[in-house]
Structure 1
Amino acid sequence: MAYLSEAAVEQVVLDHLARLGYAILSDAEIGPDGKAPQREAYADVVLAKRLAAAIEKLNPAIPAEARGDALRKVLATEKPSLVEENRRLHKLMVEGVDVEFYAEDGTIRGDKVRLIDFADVAANDWLATGQFTVIQGSINRRPDIVIFVNGLPLSVIELKAPGGENATLTGAHNQLQTYKAQIPSLFRTNAVLVTSDGITARIGSLTADQERFMPWRTTDGKVIAAKGQPELDTLIEGIFERRRLLDLLHDFTVFGETGSGISKIIAGYHQFHAVRHAVEKTVEASAPQGDCKVGVIWHTQGSGKSLLMAFYAGQLVRCAELENPTIVVITDRNDLDDQLFGTFSMCRDLIRQTPIQADSRDDLQSALSRASGGVIFTTIQKFSPATGETIYPMLSDRRNIVVIADEAHRSQYGFRAKIERNTGKIAYGFAKYLRDALPNASFIGFTGTPIEKDDVNTPAVFGEYIDVYDISRAVEDGATVPIYYESRLARIELPEAEKPKIDAEIEELTEDEATTEQERIKRKWATVEALVGSEKRLSMVAADLVRHFEDRVAAMDGKAMVVCMSRRICVALYQHIVALRPDWHSDDDAAGKIKVVMTGSAADPQAWQPHIGTKGRRDLLAKRAKDPKDSLKLVIVRDMWLTGFDAPSMHTMYIDKPMKGHGLMQAIARVNR
C-alpha cells in the first residue's frame, strides 16, 4: 500500500493554497536565517515589514506617525490571557485601530487605521508558509502551515500523515493545544484552526475543544460533500478561498461569556451559507416589486439556530440595499425571548448596536416609530388587538423592516378567521395582525423542525425553504448526537368501556393551539391528567425512573430531564422520587440532586410553593443544570426548558405526557447536544 508522508500532505495543501492566490514561501526563505528574512528573530510571529507595508498602502491619508502608533498597538501584548488578547486584536482587525494625529489646521483629529481591506480582496497580502519555526524561551516548535494576511498569522493548520500510527485528528488537536500553551504569541491574531489526518479535516476556533472542531463540507453551500469522501480539499477550498476567509473573520466570528470564561465561536458551514442565501432572498423580497416573503430556514435543534439568526441580523445591518433596516425578532414565549435576546446581546459587535426588548404594545410602537435602524425583540402576543377589536393599528409602513420569526411554523401565525364559541366574535391568527401592523415588512421564518405537510400558514406568511440542515446531516457532522428511544410503560388502570374515549381525547391533546382552542380541550386534558397522575401509577413511574437513571449514570455520567403532563404531577412525582431517595432533596436551591422547574403564583396550593420561586431561582437552576460538575442531576418540568435550553451534559429525557409533532421534536432536542 502506498504511504503518503506528512510532508507530502503538507505540499498538497500548499499547492491548493497557491491555486487560491496565496504566495507560498518556506521558512527557510523568510525566517531570520533565511535568504530573504522577513522577521528579526524566531520569537517574532507577526511579519512586521509586511504589516507596515499593508498599513501604509491601505491608509495613505493618515500620517506616518499615526500609522506607526497603530503598528505598535498590534505588536504589543496588552491583555494577560490569550483569549482576551485575541478578542482585542480581532476587534482591531475588523474595525481598525483608533489613532489621533494633528491635522493640517493644527487641530487634533481621530481616525481608524485599517489593518485589512475587507472590500477588496486583492488589496491584501496573502502568504502561506510551511514549517514555520517559533522559539519562545527554551521551547522550539514548528507548526505545519501558517497562513498570513498582511503579515498577521490568521490560521494554523496541523496535519498528520494518513495511515501513520499516531496520525489522528485527536493527535493534531492535542498538538495545537500544546502550541497554544507553549508559543501563545502565534495565536494572538488567530482566526481559524484546522486539523487533518490527510483525509478527514476539521475547523475550530481558538477556544474550541475537540468536540467543537467541525467538518466543512461545501464550497458553495449548494453541493454538500457526501459523508466518507476525503474532506481536506473541500475544507481548504471552502474556508481559505480568500473572499470566504475574510467574510468568516469579519461577519461570522463572535466572542461570548460562558460559565468557564470567554468562548470564541466561528460559524459552521451550514450557518455561513444559509445566511448568505437568506440575505440574497431578503434583498429580493424587500425590493419595491418584492412579495415580502423571504422564506424559511429549517436548521435542526442543537445546530446553532440562535447564532444563525444573529449572524443573519449582522449581515442585514451591513447590507446597503436595505438602507439601515429595522429588525424585529418575534418569539412566542417570554423565556424564548430572553434566551434569544441574550444571544443577540452577545453578538452586539456584529449587529453594530445593542438590541432592545419591547415589554408592552406602547414600547413596540415607540421602538418602531424610528426612521431606520434598531433590533427590537418582542413576543407574538404583543400583536394582539385590544379587547373587542379585530384590527391591529399600523405601526410602520416602511419597506426596510425585516421580521424574524422564531419557530415560525406554529399555529399562531395563521391568517384564517376563527369564531370564538363563547362570544361569537371573530378572531384571526397573529399573521394577519402582524401584516396590519407592518404592511410592507419582509418576513423570514426560522424553525428547528420541518414544516408539516398540512401547514398552509407557514408558506403563506414566510415563503418556501431557503436552507435545510436536518437531523441526519447534523448527526453526521457531529453538531448533534444521535438520539435513541426506549419505550417504558406505566399502565393506566381504567374501565374497559372508557378506553376508546380516552384514546380519542389523548389524540386531540396539544399545547400549541391558540388560547381559545386550549379552553375547548381543558376538560379532556383534565380527565386524562387525573388518570396519568394517579398515586399508584406515579409510584410505579418513580421507582422505574430512579432505577433506570441510576443505571444510566453508572454507565455514563450526566443529567436527565423528566417531562410531566401538569404542574400537579411534577410536584407529586418529585415527592415520590424523594421518598425513595431522601438524600436527593434539599430545601436550598443551590443544593440537592433533583428540582422541579415551573412557574406559578401565590394562589397555587401550598405544596407547590417551594417549587415555584422567582426568575432568579430558575436562572440559578439553569446554571446548575448546565454545569456538568454541579450536583443537580435531575430536573422535572412541564413545559419549561423544552425549547431553547442547551445543556450538553443532559443525556436522558423521560417523557410522561402526550406529545407529538414539532413539540416532541423540540423537546427531545434538549438531549441531542
Structure 2
Amino acid sequence: MPKFTEAQLEEAIIELFQEQGYDYINGDKLHRKYDEILLEEDMREFLSQCYSNLTATELEKVINKIKYVPNTPLYMGNREAFYLVNEGFNLVRDDSALAPIHIEYIDFENPENNIFKVVNQYTVQDVRERRPDLILFINGIPVAIFEFKTAIQETTTVYDAWKQITIRYNRDIPSLMKYAFLSVISDGANTKLGSIFTPYEYYYSWNKANDDEKVSNGISALLTMIHGAFAKDRVVAILRDFIYYPDSDKKDTAIVTRYPQFFAAKKMLENIKLHLKPYGDGKGGTYFGATGSGKTNTMLFLSRLLATHDRETFKSPTVIILVDREDLSDQTSKLFEGSKRYLKTEKVKTIGSRAELKQELSINESGGVYITTIQKFEEATGLLSERTNIICISDEAHRTQTNVGSKLKYTEAGVETSYGFAKYLRDSFPNATYAGFTGTPIDETIHVFGEVVESYTMKESTDDGITVRISYEPRLARVITNEEQVAEIDNYYKEVEEQGANIEQIEASKRTMSKVTQILNHPDRIRKVADDIVEHYEKVVSEKPEIVQKAMVVCSNREHAFNVYQAIKSVRPEWFIAKKTEREDLSPQELEKLESLPKVNIVATRSQDDVKEMYDLLGDAKHRKMLDAQFKNNDSNFQIVIVVDMWITGFDVPSLAVMYIDKPLQKHTLIQTISRVNRVFEGKDHGLVVDYIGIKRAMLEAIKTYGGEQESPIDELEITLKIFRNQLSLIDELLVNFDASDFYHGTPAERLLCLNRGAEYVQRLHDMEVRFMYLSRRMKSAYEIVFPSGELTDEETEKAQFYMAIRSIIYKQTKGNAPDAEMMNKHVQQMIENAIASTGVEDIVNNDKQELFDESFLDELDALEMPITKFNALLRLLKRAIDQYGGTNQVKAIEFSERLDRVVEAYNNRDSQIFISEVTADFINSLSDEIMKILKDLQIDMDSFKDLGISYEEKAFYDILIKVRDEHEFEYADEKCIDLAKAIKELVDDKAQYADWSSREDIKSQLNMDLTILLYENGYPPQWNDEVFEQVLGQAENFKKSTN
C-alpha cells in the first residue's frame, strides 16, 4: 500500500476535487485578512446571479446575515449557521412596496449553479492562529473541513487529525468552525467522515461511490469519499437532507449520514414513489439492514425525504411509523419527536390509542409523522382513512407486522379463524403504501412489503466498523453433563426447524419445550450457571478494568430468570448492595442522574401470582423505565441485567459487551438477540456471546439466512484458539535462544530485568523487531477473545502476557504510547510500568523543555544501562528538540537533522553487522554518545541568541547571514550580522501583514528590492543577494507555518 506524506496526501486530494470540477486555490494567494472567513466575492457572485434585482444594500444585508452568526457557544452558532444555509430566510425588501423574497445561500435544486472551491493552507486568526489543511467552500461558505496526517509515521494517525479538528480548531477558530458542517479526517489509508461534534468512534468511511458499486477499503476509501460524498450533486444532497441537528441543544449533537443510510433512504424513496397507490400496489419495498447499523436514523432520513421531495407525487404525505413493542416505541418516539424542525412539521406525535390516531387523521388531511405500535390495530379499529398519501413505515418488519393472513385457533367454543395485527392495519388504511425495515427479513416480509430494495449485511457493517464483530464461546458442557439432557435440548431445536402450521406439531413443540424448561431450571444446573457467569464476568472485567463492560443474561422464562438472580446473589452478595456508582470522580451533577441500585437487576413484567419477593423485585412499568435509563448510563452501578423477552431486540446499549444465553432461540430472534452486543463503544474490540444451551447450529443457520452471502461475521472460539496457538508458537521459535526463565520463576526484581532484556533482545536486529511486532499483534487480537473462555493453559497465559509485555515496552520506548486496549492483567500491566520505570526512560522522555539540557538531566541520560533502551530514549528526545527548533530556525534545524539522519542510518543498518551481545552494546552505545553530543550542541545553539543580545527570530536571520558568509568565505563581522538581522526582521514583519503575502509576487518583489537595498546599505556583498533573499523568504514562511 502506498504511503503519503501530509503534503502528498493533500495534493492527491486536491487533484481528486479538481477531477470533480472544483476550482482550487492556495489560501496564501487569497487577498484577505486572517480574520476574514467567508469568500465574499464568491458569495456576491452567486447571489447576484440568483437574485439580480437585489440592491447593493440588500446584498450586504444577506451577506451580513450569515457573516455575523455568533461564534460562541460554538454548537449554537454552528446549528444556527446550518439552518440558515439549509433553509434560507425571507429578506424584507428596502422598498416596502415589494414583497419579501426568500433567499437561499445554496441552490439545492440545481447544484451546477453553485460555486465550488477547495482551498488549502487557509490561515485563520481567532482565539489563536490556526491553518487547517483543506477547506471546501460552496458559494464562499466553508462548509467542510479536512485534516490530514501522514501514513508514514506510525505515531500520527487519523485520531490525531480528529483531535486537531474537534479540540484545537473548535477551541481556537470558532469563527471558521461555525460554518463547518462536514468534517473529514484522513491519513491516505483511512479516510473518515463526521461532524465537528462527532465522537471519534462514530466517524466512518464512505465506502461506496455509487449504490451499485462494491465496498472499498483502505487506500481506495479516499477515492470513494471524494467521488461518493463530495461529488457536487452528492455534497449538496447531503447538506440538504442528510445532516441532522436535534431540536434540543442539551447535547452537542450533529449527525451526518453514513453511506448505507444515504443510499437506502434515496432508493426507498424512489421505490415508494413507483409503488404508490392508487396507481401502484402499495408495496413500498423492504430495507434489509444489519441489526445495529442505524436503521432508525435511516427511517428518519426517509421521512424527511418524503416530506420535502416531489410534492406533486407525494402530496404532503402523512407518515406513520409502526413498531411492535412499547420499548421500541419509546426509543423511536424520542428520536422523531425531537426532530420536528428536521422533519419540517410540528405534527410529530406518539399515538397512545386508536381513538387518538383517528382524531389526528380527521383533523389533519395531510402531513405529520405519527409513531404507534402495531398492537393498536385490531378488528374493532375499522376504517381510519382512505387517503392515498399515507405512508406506513414498519420497524422490525419480520414479527407482528407481516401477519396479514388468517390462522386457526382452538378455543373452548371450538375452532375459530383469527387474523393478525397487520391485516387490521391494512383494513384501517386500505390505500396506504407500506415500507418495511428489518435486520432479519423473512419470506412473509417480502410478501407484505415488496422486494428488498437495498441491503446492508452484518459482514459489511463489521467491515465498516459501524458494528463490532461478535465472538462466540460455547459453555454448555460446563453446566450440563448429562448426555440425555443435551439430547433433549438438541431435539427441541430439530423440532423447531421442522415446525409447521398444524396444531399437532405446535403442541409437540410445547411438550418438548416443557422438558427443556425443567432441565434449565434444575437447581443444580442453576447453581453451575451462576458460578460460571460470576467467574467468567469477573475475568472479563479484570482484563480491561478501564472500560465499561456491561452484561446481559438471557433466560427462558421469568421463573428461570428469578432463580438465576437468586443464585448469583448467593455467590456474590456484595453485588446486591444498592449504590449509585463505584466511581469516586463524578461531579454532583453526574451523581444526581444516578439511582441507588444493585449491580444485578431483572427486567421483566410481573404477575399477580408472583411470590412477594419476585413481585416487588420486578416492579411496574415506571420501574422498568428507570432501569432502562440507568443501564444506559455508563456511570451507574447497574452492570448486569437478567432478561427474558424484554431488551433482547431493539435495545441499544453500546457498552453492553457480554451476553450469557440460557434460552432456546432461533432464526431472526436469535440474530436480533446476539446483535445487542455488536454496538461500537470506545475500547470495545468485539462483543461476546457465551452459550449455555447449545445455540451454535441455530446461530450458524440464522447467520446464513440473515448475514448476507459472505463469510460469517461471528468469530468462533475454536478457530480463534487455533490462531492464537499458531502465533504463540511462531513467537516461541523467534525467541528460542532467549532465556526467559527469570520472568517465570525469578524474584520481582529479576522479572523486571528479564522484561527489559527481552525488549533489548528483540530489537538487536531490525528484521526480528518487525516480525515480532507483527506476530505479537496478531496473537494479542486472538488472546483478547480466547482468554475469558478458560481454555488457555497457565503456561500459554504466562507466555502471552510475557510477549505482550515486551511488545508494550518496545512501543513505549520507540513510539511513546502503548497499543490501544492492551489485554494484560493488572499484575502484568503493573510489571510493565515498573520495568519501564526501572530504566528511567519515562522520566526522561516526558521531561519538559526547561529541564531538557541541564547537567543533572544529561547525567541521568548517561546513566541508562540498557543500550537499545537508552538509544531509543535519546533518539525520541533529539527528534523532538530538533522539531521544536525547526519552527523558529530552519537553517540550523536542517543542519542538526542531517547529523541525526546519519546516526539513524547507522542504527538501521545494524543487521548487516555480525554481533555478539558485547559488540552490539558497544556499537549502540557509540551511537548514543553521538546523539548526546548532538543534543548538547543543539542546546548551546538554541540558547546562543541570548548571548548575542537578539531575539530567537532575529537569530534565525543571523544564522542565514553567517551561513552564506562562511560558505562563500568572505569577510563580514559577526557584530554587523547582528545589526543586519534585526533590520531584516523588521522588514519581514512589515511585509507579512496579509494572509497572501508569500504568494503575492508584487509583495515578494518589494521585499526582494527592500532587502537588496538593506544589504547594500550595510555593506553585505551584493553577489549573494539572491541566495540571502531565498533563505530569508523561506525562513519567513517557516515562521508562518510554525505559528500555526
Q: Which residue is 2:141 aligned to? A: 152
Q: How far off its partner does 1:553 sit? A: 0.8
| Partner Cα distance (1:371, 1:76) in 2 | 40
Q: 1:492 to 1:7 in 2, by over 3 A?
A: closer
Q: Which residue is 2:196 aligned to? A: 206
Q: 1:214 to 1:355 in 2, by over 3 A?
A: same
| Partner Cα distance (1:363, 1:295) in 2 | 28
Establish whether residue 554 from structure 1 lines up as the match of residue 542 from structure 2. Answer: yes
| Partner Cα distance (1:29, 1:79) in 2 | 26
| Partner Cα distance (1:582, 1:324) in 2 | 59
Q: Is the Cα–Cα contact under 8 Å of residues 257 and 263 in structure 1 kept in the other structure?
A: no
Residue among 79, 83, 89 paired with 1:97: 89
Q: How far off its partner does 1:325 sit? A: 0.9
Q: Which residue is 1:22 aligned to? A: 22
Residue among 348, 353, 366 paired with 1:360: 353
Q: How far off its partner does 1:16 sit? A: 1.9
Letter in 2 for 1:182: D
Deviation sequence 1:402-426 (CA, Å, 0-9, x none): 1111111226513332111114111
Q: Which residue is 2:8 aligned to? A: 8
Q: 1:642 to 1:16 in 2, by over 3 A?
A: same
Establish whether residue 395 from structure 1 lines up as the match of residue 384 from structure 2. Answer: yes
| Partner Cα distance (1:261, 1:27) in 2 | 34
Pick which of 580-589 and 353-362 moved more.
580-589
Deviation sequence 1:558-612 (CA, Å, 0-9, x none): 1111111112222222222122222211456533322212222555321123332
Q: How far off its partner does 1:658 sit? A: 0.4
Q: 1:508 to 1:402 in 2, by over 3 A?
A: farther
Q: How far off its partner does 1:288 sit? A: 4.1
| Partner Cα distance (2:616, 2:126) in 1 | 57
| Partner Cα distance (2:359, 2:374) in 1 | 17
Letter in 1 for 2:383: M
Residue among 260, 268, 278 paired with 1:270: 260
| Partner Cα distance (1:99, 1:157) in 2 | 33
Letter in 1 for 2:405: R
Pick which of 195-204 and 464-473 moved more.
195-204
Q: How far off its partner does 1:44 sit? A: 2.4
Residue among 435, 445, 452 paired with 1:465: 452
Q: 1:608 to 1:113 in 2, by over 3 A?
A: same
| Partner Cα distance (1:22, 1:412) in 2 | 47
Q: CA RMSD in A?
A: 3.0
Q: Is the Cα–Cα contact under 8 Å of residues 25 and 117 in structure 2 kept in the other structure?
A: yes
Give the share of equivalent positions with the same residue, in percent.
33
| Partner Cα distance (2:194, 2:46) in 1 | 27
Q: Is the Cα–Cα contact under 8 Å of residues 285 and 293 in structure 1 kept in the other structure?
A: yes
Q: How far off its partner does 1:546 sit? A: 0.5
Deviation sequence 1:27-69 (CA, Å, 0-9, x none): 1211xxxxxx2x3x21222223433454454445666655544
Q: Is the Cα–Cα contact under 8 Å of residues 277 and 433 in structure 2 kept in the other structure?
A: no
What are the equivalent positions in structure 2 for 1:38-187 lying under 5 Å apart? 39=32, 41-60=33-52, 65=57, 68-78=60-70, 80-97=72-89, 99-100=91-92, 104-105=96-97, 112-137=102-127, 139-177=128-166, 178-187=168-177
Letter in 1 for 2:186: S
Q: Which residue is 2:523 aligned to? A: 535
| Partner Cα distance (1:110, 1:517) in 2 | 73
| Partner Cα distance (1:293, 1:223) in 2 | 26
Q: Which residue is 1:624 aligned to? A: 630
Q: Is the Cα–Cα contact under 8 Å of residues 285 and 446 in structure 2 kept in the other structure?
A: yes
Consecutive unaligned residues of structure 2, counting only runs of 5 or more, are: 580-594, 680-1044
| Partner Cα distance (1:302, 1:610) in 2 | 33
| Partner Cα distance (1:275, 1:133) in 2 | 38
Instruction: Give 3-state SS (helix, strand or coil) of 1:484's partner.
Output: strand
Letter in 2 for 1:378: T
Letter in 1 for 2:655: S
Instruction: Give 3-state SS (helix, strand or coil) of 2:292's partner.
Output: coil
Consecutive unaligned residues of structure 1, counting only runs of 5 or more, are: 31-36, 387-391
How many positions carry a matched residue from both structures? 650
Q: Which residue is 1:600 aligned to? A: 606
| Partner Cα distance (1:146, 1:519) in 2 | 64
Q: Which residue is 2:619 aligned to? A: 613
Pick which of 543-552 and 139-148 moved more.
139-148
Deviation sequence 1:228-272 (CA, Å, 0-9, x none): 452211111111111111111111111248998222111100000
Deviation sequence 1:466-503 (CA, Å, 0-9, x none): 1110011111100000000001125458895x886665
Q: How far off its partner does 1:519 sit? A: 9.9
| Partner Cα distance (1:360, 1:663) in 2 | 27
| Partner Cα distance (1:383, 1:112) in 2 | 43
What are the equivalent positions in structure 2 for 1:400-411 lying under 5 Å apart? 400-410=389-399
When normalised by structure 1's length, the TM-score is 0.89
Deviation sequence 1:188-221 (CA, Å, 0-9, x none): 0112111111233111111122211111111211
Q: How far off its partner does 1:525 sit? A: 4.5
Q: How far off its partner does 1:509 sit? A: 6.6
| Partner Cα distance (2:226, 2:438) in 1 | 30
| Partner Cα distance (1:2, 1:311) in 2 | 37
Q: Which residue is 1:448 aligned to? A: 439
Letter in 2 for 1:656: D
Letter in 2 for 1:478: G
Pick which of 548-557 and 413-422 moved more.
413-422
Q: 1:609 to 1:72 in 2, by over 3 A?
A: farther
Letter in 2 for 1:18: Q
Instruction: Give 3-state SS (helix, strand or coil) of 1:486's partner.
Output: strand
Q: 1:230 to 1:416 in 2, by over 3 A?
A: same
Residue among 467, 472, 476 paired with 1:480: 467
| Partner Cα distance (1:424, 1:407) in 2 | 31
Q: Which residue is 1:384 aligned to? A: 378
Instruction: Give 3-state SS (helix, strand or coil) of 1:243's partner.
Output: helix
Q: Which residue is 2:677 aligned to? A: 671
Letter in 1 for 2:349: I
Higher helix residue share = 2
Pick which of 299-308 and 430-439 moved more.
430-439
Q: Is the Cα–Cα contact under 8 Å of residues 245 and 342 in structure 2 kept in the other structure?
A: no
| Partner Cα distance (2:528, 2:29) in 1 | 74
Q: How far off its partner does 1:667 sit? A: 0.9
Establish whether residue 635 from structure 1 lines up as the match of residue 641 from structure 2. Answer: yes
Q: 1:130 to 1:549 in 2, by over 3 A?
A: same
Instruction: Give 3-state SS (helix, strand or coil) of 1:262's partner.
Output: coil
Q: 1:546 to 1:165 in 2, by over 3 A?
A: closer
Higher strand residue share = 1
| Partner Cα distance (1:659, 1:246) in 2 | 45
Letter in 2 for 1:344: F
| Partner Cα distance (1:645, 1:573) in 2 | 22
